[in-house]
């Protein structure tokens, strides 16, 4: 079987304001990707939503659109997995004696390990973040390739992929839910979090390990 995985991350750099880090991925069959992109574009058209779907640029007036796209995900064959680390700054080096780049690869492994099977082929798409991406995909391809028959990794810009934008929405929700360094008074962000939680039946903190549709692995490093 051939699959595609779309990955995004929040606060992945060590020196950011927030202590937490979220890495997320959406997984689906390669044959379904084209139709999913068409369907999401159709939802955008229905709601006159002409912007890139992005957690940092949500609109209060588009609540029905966000509700529809979340419904679409939960009715689809897509699945989502996130690795959530509450405190990356204090524990990455102390507990694991790893460089931040090495830790980056470990987090990606934990996020994608349940999606991958040695008998299948995968194309993995990462959101462009910084100039180190080229170096990182070579190492990621080597490590993740051990868990697949074939594994190719690409870096793309989020505006190129509706699915990557959806992944950004989910990891943004998890990050916002768990931050304790900001005032969480955004009506639209709190609405999205509550609506996703109503669909998953779990808070966006962690889920049981057997949860397959929308899984959050909370990794306490201490």
Q: Which has more pLDDT, 113 or 190?
A: 190
pTM, entire model: 0.91
pLDDT of 4 over the 70 cut: yes
Structure tokens at 159: 């505006």
pLDDT at position 192 is 98
pLDDT of 99 over the 80 cut: no
- Cα distances (angstroms) measured from residue 171 to each of 7, 24, 67, 117, 168: 10, 6, 16, 24, 5
Domains of the chain, residue spans: 2-218
pLDDT, tens digit, for every residue of 35-46?
A: 999 999 999 999
- Rounded to the nearest 5 percent, the helix, strand and coil shares of the chain are 50, 20, 30
| CA neighbor of 191 nearest in space, from 98, 9, 55, 77 | 55
Q: How confident is residue 98, by pLDDT bands cut at 50, 70 and 90?
A: low
- Cα distances (angstroms) measured from residue 172 to each of 2, 48, 213: 28, 22, 18
- Out of 15-19, 113-117, 213-217, give the one with best mean pLDDT: 213-217
> CATH number of the domain at 2-218, please?
3.30.420.10
């Amino acid at each position: 079987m051939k699959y595609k995985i779309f990955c995004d991350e929040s606060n992945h750099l060590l020196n950011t304001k927030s202590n937490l880090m979220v890495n997320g991925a959406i997984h689906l069959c390669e044959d379904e990707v084209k139709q999913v992109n068409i369907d999401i574009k159709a939802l955008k058209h229905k709601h006159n939503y002409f912007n890139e779907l992005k957690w940092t640029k949500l609109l209060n007036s588009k609540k029905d659109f966000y509700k529809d796209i979340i419904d679409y995900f939960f009715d689809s064959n897509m699945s989502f997995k996130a690795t959530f680390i509450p405190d990356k700054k204090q524990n990455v080096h102390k507990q694991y004696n790893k460089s931040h780049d090495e830790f980056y690869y470990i987090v990606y492994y934990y996020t994608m390990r349940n999606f991958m099977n040695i008998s299948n082929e995968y194309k993995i798409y990462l959101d462009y973040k910084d100039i180190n991406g080229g170096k990182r995909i070579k190492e990621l391809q080597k490590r993740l390739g051990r868990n697949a028959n074939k594994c190719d990794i690409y870096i793309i810009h989020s505006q190129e992929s509706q699915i990557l934008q959806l992944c950004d929405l989910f990891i943004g929700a998890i990050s916002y839910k768990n931050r304790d360094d900001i005032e969480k008074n955004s009506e639209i962000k709190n609405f999205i979090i509550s609506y996703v939680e109503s669909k998953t039946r779990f808070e966006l903190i962690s889920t049981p390990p057997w949860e397959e549709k929308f899984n959050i692995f909370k990794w306490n490093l201490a």
